């Protein structure tokens, strides 16, 4: 049995992880610490907020007194650290917050954990699991072998550079101070509750609203898509079976160019409209409702500066050492995701407009 602190537990992966953990580790107690930035959405946890094993705390990982008291009061022995600024485009528009949250924030969390877990020189049982990205490894050429744990770091965006810095800090706290850490570097996730700024939820949202589908550059940049449920399993396996001080690459064995993803989403939405003619009343601006092709919305736009061409992961080490394999096929994962976004447009609207902020103000005290 563990007492976990999950940072960033109201974000996309965090929400999925919290729900997965409550279902699969029923004896564990979870504290979620989340600052509820634009990307954090406590309403995504609405169905589990009353769960006896879950405590939700609205707060910042940089608030050292708060973090230390959470670690002590809840006797936390496992931190799964997801809190971050996570969108590459935002990191290009304004890198400062990425340094503040991903670098300073991670360091602040490590310091608090060290203080509490090593109080009076006596080590408490503990694990710090850091959730990171494959983007720290830079960009692959078409014929390069996929990233693995030995690939040298070569981050290209302010986002990936800030995550790389955080990975190094976690590593250093292990080597210098003996903190028991593990890290997972994961490929692009997709699935329910993803904020509609990332490729898959943005494209689905825009198809349904009849808005342009922006394709950066030639649309041939490649990502290794992984269903978020497989990522959650991978994190749990690294915590349970990973060797302390080690990193594990978690991927989907599922490379695809962006244009293929966008075409597939257009096609899947058309299929849903054919099967259910009532959808056109709910989404009057969607081309499929008028019998037109959703791909008519595709618009090529100026490429992202420094746009990494290809990411791909070789998960052999994770497979051998912690027993990780992705279970969800892309066909079933994307189909489930399309259905989720079709059925949860009220969630999309809530996170996109101001009503979500009002919900937070009415439901949670501000700690600042």
- Tell me which residues touch ligand NAD (CB under 6 A): 7-8, 10-14, 33-37, 39-40, 60-62, 82-84, 86, 101, 105, 131-133, 163, 186, 188-189, 195
Name the closest residue to ligand NAD (Cβ).
Answer: 11
* Neighbour-count burial of 277, counting CB atoms closer than 10 A to its CB (0-12 exposed, 13-18 middle, 19+ buried): exposed
Task: Find residue 248's DSSP bridge partners.
Answer: 184
Name the CA dihedral angle for 141, 142, 147, 150, rounded to a multiple of 10 degrees: -50
Which residues make beta-bridge pairs with 298?
Answer: 213
**Exactly one of 60, 85, 137, 159 is catalytic; which is it?**
159
Which does residue 39 bind out of ligand TYD, ligand NAD, none, counting CB within 5 to 8 angstroms by kind?
A: ligand NAD
101 binds, among ligand TYD, ligand NAD, none (CB under 5 to 8 A by kind): ligand NAD
CA dihedral 183, 187, 192, 195 (to 10 degrees): 90
| Residue closer to ligand NAD, measured from CB, 196 or 217 | 196
CA gap 326, 234 in Å, rounded? 8
Binding stretches for ligand TYD (CB under 6 A): 88, 188, 198-199, 202, 214-216, 221, 223, 258, 304
User: Residue 268's binding partner, choosing from ligand NAD, ligand TYD, none, with beta-carbon cut-off 5 to 8 A by kind?
Assistant: none
State the nearest-atom distance from the C-beta of 289 to ligand NAD, in Å. 30
Q: DSSP readout, 175-187?
A: HHH---EEEEEE-
Place of tokens 């009220």: 346
Residue 202 near which of ligand NAD, ligand TYD, none (CB within 5-8 Å, type-dependent): ligand TYD
Determine whether 134 is an active site residue: yes
Least distance between ligand NAD and beta carbon 5 (Å): 11
CB 238 within 8 A of CB 186: no
Q: With respect to ligand NAD, which residue has the nearer C-beta, 33 or 238? A: 33
Options 77, 134, 224, 264, the catalytic residue: 134
Residue number with CB closer to ligand NAD (81 or 126): 81
Structure tokens at 368: 């600042």
Annotation marks residue 149 as catalytic: no
Coil, strand, or helix at residue 44?
Answer: helix
Smallest gap from residue 277 Cβ to ligand NAD (A): 34
Task: Write out the two tokens for 209.
Answer: 């609203």
Beta-bridge partner residues of 184: 131, 248
Reply yes or no on whether 246 is catalytic: no
Tell me whether residue 61 or residue 286 sits nearer to ligand NAD (CB atom).
Answer: 61
Partner interacting with residue 258 (select from ligand NAD, ligand TYD, none; CB below 5-8 Å by kind): ligand TYD
How far apart are alpha carbons 242 and 234 in whole angstroms? 10
Q: Hey, which residues are catalytic here?
A: 134-135, 159
């Amino acid at each position: 049995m563990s007492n976990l602190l999950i940072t960033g537990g109201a974000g996309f992966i965090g929400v999925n992880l919290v729900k997965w953990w409550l279902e699969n580790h029923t004896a564990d107690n979870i504290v979620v610490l989340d600052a509820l930035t634009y990307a954090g959405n406590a309403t995504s946890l609405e169905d589990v907020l009353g769960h006896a094993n879950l405590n939700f705390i609205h707060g910042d990982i940089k608030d050292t007194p708060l973090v230390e008291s959470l670690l002590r009061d809840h006797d936390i022995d496992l931190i799964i650290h997801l809190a971050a600024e996570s969108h590459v485009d935002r990191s290009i528009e304004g890198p400062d917050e990425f340094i503040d949250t991903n670098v300073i924030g991670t360091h602040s969390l490590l310091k608090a954990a060290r203080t509490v877990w090593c109080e009076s020189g006596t080590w408490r049982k503990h694990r710090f699991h850091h959730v990171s990205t494959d983007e720290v490894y830079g960009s692959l050429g078409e014929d390069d072998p996929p990233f693995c744990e030995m690939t040298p770091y070569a981050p290209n965006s302010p986002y990936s550079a800030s995550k790389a810095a955080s990975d190094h800090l976690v590593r250093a706290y292990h080597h210098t101070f003996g903190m028991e850490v593990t890290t997972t570097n994961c490929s692009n996730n997709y699935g329910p509750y993803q904020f509609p700024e990332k490729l898959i939820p943005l494209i689905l949202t825009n198809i349904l609203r009849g808005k342009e589908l922006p394709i950066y550059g030639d649309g041939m940049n490649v990502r290794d898509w992984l269903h978020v449920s497989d990522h959650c399993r991978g994190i749990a396996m690294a915590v349970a079976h990973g060797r302390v001080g080690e990193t594990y690459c978690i991927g989907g064995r599922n490379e695809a160019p962006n244009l293929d993803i966008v075409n597939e989403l257009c096609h899947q939405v058309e299929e849903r409209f054919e099967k259910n003619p009532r959808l056109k009343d709910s989404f009057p601006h969607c081309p499929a409702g008028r019998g037109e092709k959703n791909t008519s919305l595709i618009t090529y736009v100026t490429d992202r500066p420094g746009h990494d061409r290809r990411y791909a992961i070789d998960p052999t080490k994770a497979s051998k050492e912690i027993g990780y394999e992705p279970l969800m096929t892309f066909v079933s994962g994307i189909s489930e995701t399309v259905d989720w976004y079709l059925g949860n447009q009220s969630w999309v609207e809530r996170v996109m407009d101001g009503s979500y902020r009002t919900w937070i103000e009415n439901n949670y005290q501000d700690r600042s």
